[in-house]
Amino acid sequence: MAASPDARAALIALNRFGYGARPGDLAAAASDPRGFLAEELARPGIARIDADLPGSAAALASLFEDQDRVRLEREAAARPAVAAPPAGAPPAGAPVAAGMAAAPQAGAMAPAMAAPPTAGATPPAMADAKPKPPPGPSLETRLYRAEAQARFAKAIEAPAGFVERLVAFWSNHFAVSVSKDQFVRVGAGPFEREAIRPHVLGRFADMLAAVERHPAMLVFLDNQQSTGPNSKAGRSNHRGLNENLAREILELHTLGVDAPYRQDDVTALARIITGWTHTPRDGKAGPPGTFLFRPEWHEPGAHALLGTTYPEGGVEQGLAALADLARHPATAHHLAVKLVRHFVADAPPPALVDTIAATFRDGDGDLARVARALIESDAAWEAPTTKIRSPIEFLVAMARATGLGPPDPGRLLGQLEALGQPLWQPAGPNGFADGTAVWASPEAMKLRLDLAWAVAQRAADYGPPLGVLDTVAGLAASRDTRETMARAESRPQALAILFMSPEFQRR
Amino acid sequence: MTGSCDLSVPSRRALLAAGVSFAAWAARPRLASAAGTRDPRLVVIVLRGALDGLAAVGPLGDPDYARLHGDLALAADGIRPALALDGFFGLNPAMPELARMWRAGQAAIVHAVATNYRERSHFDGQDVLESGQPGPGRTQSGWLNRALSRLDTAGRASPLRGLGVGPTTPLILRGPAPVLGWTPQILASAGDDLAKRILALYDHRDPELGRALRDGLDTDAMAKRGGLSGDMGKARGGMDQPTGMRQAALGTARLLAAAEGPRVAALAFDGWDTHASEGALGGQLANRLGGLDGALAAFESELGPAWADTAIAVVTEFGRTVRINGTTGTDHGTGTVAFLVGGAIRGRRVIADWPGLADDRLYQNRDLKPTTDLRAVFAGLLVDHLGVSPTAIADEVFPDGGLLKPMAGLIV
């Protein structure tokens, strides 16, 4: 591009690090692009969501109530028939979670099913009070949409969006998927607000400890029933280990798959975190759906992980292990590679990775320092704009550019799903991929075109399309893009061309 | 054909032991595919999350099976008896369509199979499965794509083209050979005129995006000609749901059946990571196996006459532990099962050098020991079905495969 250095740097600030320009943002960023981002990092409470949303305990309590209500209704309806257990009845002693495993895929959410534009979410308690709710979205769908709405609104309204991009990055790093069951569907939004956001500019070790104790993660990665074979419960009930969470902590959350750990370490960590579960729905052990350590499920004794022996100490044993994992040099490197790959280039420049990893180590995992190091590095600004915006970045950037008003969560969720990035629903615990090859495939580009057209039709009254080009690219806009837009046959067509232009797609 | 490949029940060690030598294989006349009388279709379905092969196809005759696999073991009797296969193995009762294809000689099962990957990370395991490389993270291209790029296109009416199903192309099909993409339609299509203008802009400013968009539009146009724009084109469920699996199969089959359509396709079905409440008989695994069964039936019906020219390989990154874990599920393991289905498959066989499940026969005292290299199965399909040269297999498709021998006799 023949753009001036200032114009390019402003574009990098908003597109590479943020969620794209709103009217006036480019000019605000141009004089001091680094300062523009640093100022957002410094705002008190910038990562917090202030919307009135239930915490995980309240949300899960309302889910449990709703499940009980549905069950009672079903039993009442079935009562006249004298029931022999159906052939499909689960075997006796099937775990509690079995009843939730068949959660319907309430999230198909084609645009046609989009909820009417709501001014804020339906408070779940109120919706529940009605004796016979009309057939409509299920409770977990309403809660999920309310969470989505708050998250979209925050991204669209953020000054630069750097902090929201960091939230999305860490949330994807510690991915849970709402396709698991109703519990995670309800818990995913609170998980991000309770385990990710408070620490996104805090310490990694604190985020890690919050994540691995959160009910949504404990259920998503199956730790909630993992029992030490030699624990009291293990000896009497023949229950045992489930190593899923322990493996992903090592492989995905901390050290990374290339680090030198072995199956023995996976098993040891699985033993160390036995008994990490959530309170059951009966409420006897505390509000349902909050973290609970069950000593009678915990594998007794000292356990050796990566050469360090952790003495018996209940929940503290696991917290000590997590604290050491957070400080492990392999963790610093693993996280640095992922951060640089996400923000800068599919092939992360090694020198920049080293800088970020060193900052992480020197600051004992201070994530605000890491974020500042990223924007202070020249390499992060000079790398060519080879990456393509992820689907959520693309959707939020269109909304920011055109000021479409309060987001319609049903529509946005449907669009995200169409583009292959359904919110909090990656195919596995490794989260969504982070490469241009994935998001710029033929099918993905075709879908982007359709989506750009759909959004452009709704945004056409917003103003002259070339004005929107000035908003999002300013002097960095290419002559080709400007001319192609100017020759368009309609305003929506010009806007769609803008949304598909390399200036808008690449970052 | 070599008679030694026909594996009868008692001698299930026979196949690999009697494996046809490379020279003998190379000299073998390849009648149908090489002569061009067949218009082959090859589909690879990746089950992401690691399928419990012992709950999908149970070694009912193994004395240790029922004890070790506990509630997740299939049985010849009971409320939900396994579907009979060959007397030693039984099929999960959620898969009656597959059992029917088996009886018709159009389905084979490979058991105690694994790639060369021996760790237990899903993502690295899938990377190795799809990349065809000796280890994870070696390349951004998949073996199926590289095989396509090395096909001798001379003498064919049209070059074989690949089709990636889903919003993004699976790794197995990424690479130098051009690949189409298709996914059930959710959005209304933008008009041709807008597309042309944007393509012209890309030609000036961003040829990479231009290529991708052009290919995406071409496939969409083809799908519409095939009648996919209506009901079938609408997304109905995720790829971990029976409806989603069936729909993806219908759409893929329609494109593969088209005269000018792609000939090689890759799909991925999700949700096989059954750590807790696995539900092998009436639960989450049974539900998904039923979805896979429905997808295979959808391929058969929608491909029509082309079914006779079709080979479908259903594979997963690794297996699961032989013993069930503390939460009525299974953790990550090694050896597992693969399904080969289609009119072109020489079926009604379980291909297995069965290692046994006695404690001292398990891999690392926890997993089904792999005795067949999944890459050899892939290579056998590529060579005998698509006509990929053995040289290309060794050079590029499965580099560093060592003494990997394409498994002979998989194709009718």
CATH number at residue B272: 3.40.720
B172, B194, B208, B211, best to mutate vs chain A, most A CBs in 10 Å: B194
* Percent of all residues in chain A with a pLDDT value above 70, rounded to a whole number: 87
Other Cβ atoms closer than 10 A to B53:
26
Give the SS3 label for residue A63: helix
The interaxial angle of helices B284-303 and B96-103, nearest 10 deg, is: 50
Cβ–Cβ of B205/A478 closer than 8 Å?
yes
- With beta carbons under 8 A apart, name residues in chain B contacting A251: 121, 123
Segment B266-279 mean pLDDT: 91
> How many Å apart are CA B347 and CA B339, to the nearest integer?
10
Q: How far apart are CA B149 and CA A169, in angstroms?
A: 36
**pLDDT score, position A126:** 38
Residues A110 and A88: their CA atoms lie apart, in Å, by 31
List residues bridging with B339 in a β-sheet: B109, B314
> Two tokens at A444?
């993905």
Kindly state whether residue B277 falls inside one of the protein's structural domains.
yes
For A206-255, write each residue's pLDDT tens digit: 999 999 999 999 999 999 999 999 999 999 987 899 999 999 999 999 99
Is the Cβ pair A427, B205 closer than 8 Å?
no
Residue B411 lies in a domain: no
pLDDT, one tens digit per residue, over B287-329 is 999 999 999 999 999 999 999 999 999 999 999 999 999 889 9
The answer to whether residues A266 and A250 touch, using CB atoms and an 8 Å cutoff, is yes
Whether B286 and B192 map to the same domain: the answer is: no
Tell me how far apart the alpha carbons of residues A255 and A418 are, in angstroms, rounded to a whole number: 33
Verify that B232 and B220 share a domain, yes or no: no
Beta partners for residue B344, in sequence order: none
Nearby residues of B224 by Cβ (< 8 Å), 6 or more positions away = none
Task: Indicate the residue of B167, B209, B332 with minimum beta-carbon distance to A443.
Answer: B167
Q: Which residue has the tokens 């039984």?
A: B90
Instruction: Please tell me which residue, A31 or A131, carries the higher pLDDT value.
Output: A31
pLDDT at A88: 42
Banded model confidence at residue B143, pLDDT cuts 50, 70, 90: very high
B136 in the same domain as B13: yes
> Which residues in chain A are closer than 8 Å to B237, comparing Cβ atoms?
105, 108
**pLDDT at position B133:** 93
**What is the Cβ-side half-sphere exposure of residue B33, based on CA atoms within 13 angstroms?**
27
What pLDDT score was predicted for residue B31? 38
Both structure tokens of A325: 């994992």
Distances (CA, A) of A91 to A96, A251, A310, B279: 12, 33, 38, 9
Quick one: tokens of A306?
């990566």
| Residues near B360 by beta carbon (within 8 Å), at least 6 away in sequence | none
Higher-confidence residue of B184 and B357: namely: B357
Q: In chain A, where are the structural domains located?
A: 5-42+387-505
The beta-carbon neighbor of B194 closest among A89, A251, A453 is: A453
Q: Does residue B408 lie within any of the structural domains?
A: no
Query: CA-CA distance, B14 to B23, in Å (whole number)?
Result: 19
* Least-confidence region, from B120-134, B214-228, B259-273, B330-344: B214-228
The confidence band for A138, taking pLDDT boundaries of 50, 70 and 90, is: confident
Q: Do B216 and A437 touch (CB under 8 A)?
A: no
What the block records as the tokens of A279 is: 């309170």
Q: Do A90 and B166 touch (CB under 8 A)?
A: no
Residues A272, A309 contacting (CB under 8 angstroms): no
B340-378 pLDDT, tens digit per residue, is 999 999 999 999 999 999 999 999 999 999 999 999 999
DSSP string, A145-156: HHHHHHHHHHHH
Query: Which residue of B lies nearest to A481 if distances are taken between CA atoms?
Result: B201
Range of the domain at B87: 3-183+228-397
B406 assigned to some structural domain: no
Interface TM-score (ipTM) > 0.90: no
Q: How confident is the model at residue A3 (pLDDT cuts 50, 70, 90)?
A: low
Q: Looking at residues B385-394, what average pLDDT do you find?
A: 93
Side-chain-facing half-sphere of A500: CA atoms under 13 Å: 36
Least confident of A172-176, A184-188, B23-27: B23-27
pLDDT digits (tens, 9 = 90+) for A378-409: 999 999 999 999 999 999 999 999 977 667 88
The answer to whether B190 contacts A496, with C-beta atoms less than 8 Å apart, is yes
Nearest by CB: B190 against A87, A90, A450 = A450
Residue A376 structure tokens: 């202070």
User: What is the 8-class DSSP label of residue B359?
Assistant: G
Is residue B175 situated within a structural domain? yes
The owner of tokens 């998927």 is: A177
For every residue of A342-392, DSSP letters joined together read HHT-SS--HHHHHHHHHHHHHTTSBHHHHHHHHHH-HHHHHS-S--B--HH
Specify whether B173 is located in the same domain as B190.
Answer: no
Task: Count CA atoms within 13 Å of residue A53 on its CB side.
Answer: 28
Query: Which sign, positive or negative, has the C-alpha torsion A57, A62, A65, A70?
Result: negative
Q: Which residues of B touch A242 (CB under 8 A)?
A: 275-276, 325-327, 329, 331
pLDDT at B235: 53
| Beta-bridge partner residues of B53 | none
Q: Report how far residue B67's alpha carbon sits from residue B64's, in angstroms, rounded to the nearest whole number.
A: 6
Residue A71's alpha-carbon distances to A92, A100, A348, in angstroms, are 18, 12, 52
- In one letter, which amino acid is B84? A
Q: Which residue has the higher pLDDT, B72 or B137?
A: B72
**Position B146 pLDDT exceeds 60:** yes
B44 and B78 share a domain? yes
Counting beta carbons within 10 angstroms of the beta carbon of residue A131, is it exposed (0 to 12), middle (13 to 18) or buried (19 or more)?
exposed
Residue A52: Cβ within 10 Å count? 10
Integer Cα distance of A179 and B256 in angstroms: 30
> Residue B286: closest CA among chain A residues belongs to which residue?
A88
Can you tell me the distance from the alpha carbon of B46 to that of B177, in angstroms, rounded to the nearest whole number? 20
| pLDDT tens digits for range B80-135 | 999 999 999 999 999 999 999 999 999 999 999 999 999 998 888 999 999 999 99
Q: Does B203 touch chain A (CB under 8 A)?
A: no
Spatial distance between the Cα atoms of B212 and B182, rounded to a whole number of angstroms: 12
Residue A148 has pLDDT above 90, yes or no: yes
Mutation target to probe the B interface, by most B beta carbons within 10 A, among A449, A493, A498 is: A449
More confident residue, B10 or B162: B162
Read off the pLDDT band of B157 (50, 70, 90).
Answer: low
Residues 6+ apart with CB under 8 A from B176: B141, B145, B146, B149
Give the residue with greater pLDDT, A498 vs B260. Answer: A498
Work out the percent of chain B whose per-residue pLDDT is above 70: 84
Tens of pLDDT, residues A34-67? 999 999 999 999 999 988 999 999 999 999 888 8
Helix, strand or coil, per DSSP, at residue A399: helix
Closest CA to B375 of B54, B139, B140, B117: B117
Kindly state the tokens that stand for A226. Answer: 């993992």
User: Is A471 an interface residue toward B (CB < 8 Å)?
Assistant: no
The Cα B258–Cα B303 span in angstroms is 9
pLDDT at A249: 98
Q: Are residues B202 and B114 in the same domain?
A: no
Output the DSSP codes for A159-214: SSSHHHHHHHHHHHHT---TTS-HHHHHHHHHHIIIIIGGGTTSBHHHHHHHHHTS
Range with the lowest mean pLDDT among A92-96, A308-312, A450-454, B4-8?
B4-8
pLDDT at residue number A121 = 36
Check pLDDT > 70 for residue A441.
yes
Q: Does B238 touch chain A (CB under 8 A)?
A: yes
Asked if B282 reaches chain A (Cβ–Cβ under 8 Å), the answer is yes
Q: Is B138 on the interface with A (CB under 8 A)?
A: no
Closest CA to A58 of A153, A186, A249, A185: A186
Q: Do A102 and B287 touch (CB under 8 A)?
A: yes
First to last CA, chain B: 9
A493/B80 CB distance under 8 A: no
Q: In this predicted structure, what is the pLDDT of residue A48?
A: 96
Are B101 and B216 in a shared domain? Answer: no
For residue B184, what are the CA distances in angstroms to A418, B28, B181?
Answer: 9, 42, 10
The chain-wide mean pLDDT, for chain A, equals: 87
Q: How much is the pLDDT for A405?
A: 66
Residue B151: strand, helix, or coil: coil
Mean pLDDT, residues A2-11 taken together: 76
- Is B192's pLDDT higher than 70? yes
- How many Cβ contacts (< 8 angstroms) between chains A and B? 232
B213 and B240 share one domain = no
* B192 and B329 inside one domain: no
Q: What is the structure's pLDDT at A422?
A: 93
Task: State yes or no: pLDDT of A122 exceeds 90.
Answer: no
Q: How far apart are CA B62 and CA B335, in angstroms?
A: 16
The CA distance from A272 to A311, in Å, is: 10
Pick the residue from chain B with its C-alpha nearest to A493: B194
B219 touches A: beta carbon within 8 Å: yes
Nearest to A374 by CA among A333, A327, A336: A336
Tokens of B374: 């999944």
pLDDT of residue A354: 98
The answer on B292 and B143 residing in a single domain is yes
Q: Where are the alpha helices (DSSP H) in B64-206?
A: 65-69, 96-103, 122-131, 143-149, 192-205
Q: Can you give the pLDDT at residue B226?
A: 60
Asked whether residue B203 falls in the same domain as residue B142, the answer is no
Please answer yes or no on whether A442 and B181 come within 8 Å at the CB atom.
Answer: yes
Number of domains in chain B: 2
**pLDDT tops 90 at residue A414:** no
| Half-sphere exposure (Cβ direction) of B179: Cα atoms closer than 13 Å | 33
> Considering only B202-206, B219-223, B243-247, which range has the smallest mean pLDDT?
B219-223
Cβ-based burial of A263 (10 A; exposed 0-12, middle 13-18, buried ≥19): middle
Contacts of A89 in chain B (CB under 8 A): 282
Confidence of residue B153 (pLDDT cuts 50, 70, 90): low
User: Longest Cα pair distance anywhere in chain B, in angstroms?
Assistant: 68
**CA dist A334 → A267, A280, B5 (Å):** 21, 35, 47
Alpha-carbon Rg for chain A in angstroms: 24
Contact assessment for residue B111 and residue B377, using Cβ atoms and an 8 Å cutoff: no
Q: How many CA atoms lie within 13 A of B43 on its CB side?
A: 35
Distance from CA of B15 to the nearest CA of A (A): 32
Does residue B165 form part of some domain? yes
The residues, any chain, with a CB within 8 Å of residue A238's CB and separated by 6 or more, are none
- Cα dihedral across residues A326, A327, A333, A339: positive or negative: positive
Mean pLDDT, chain B, whole residue set: 85
Instruction: Check residue A151 and give its pLDDT.
Output: 96
Chain B contact set for A97 (CB, 8 A): 276-277
Kindly identify which residue of chain B lies nearest to residue A249, measuring between CA atoms.
Answer: B121
Task: Judge if B193 and B239 occupy the same domain.
Answer: no
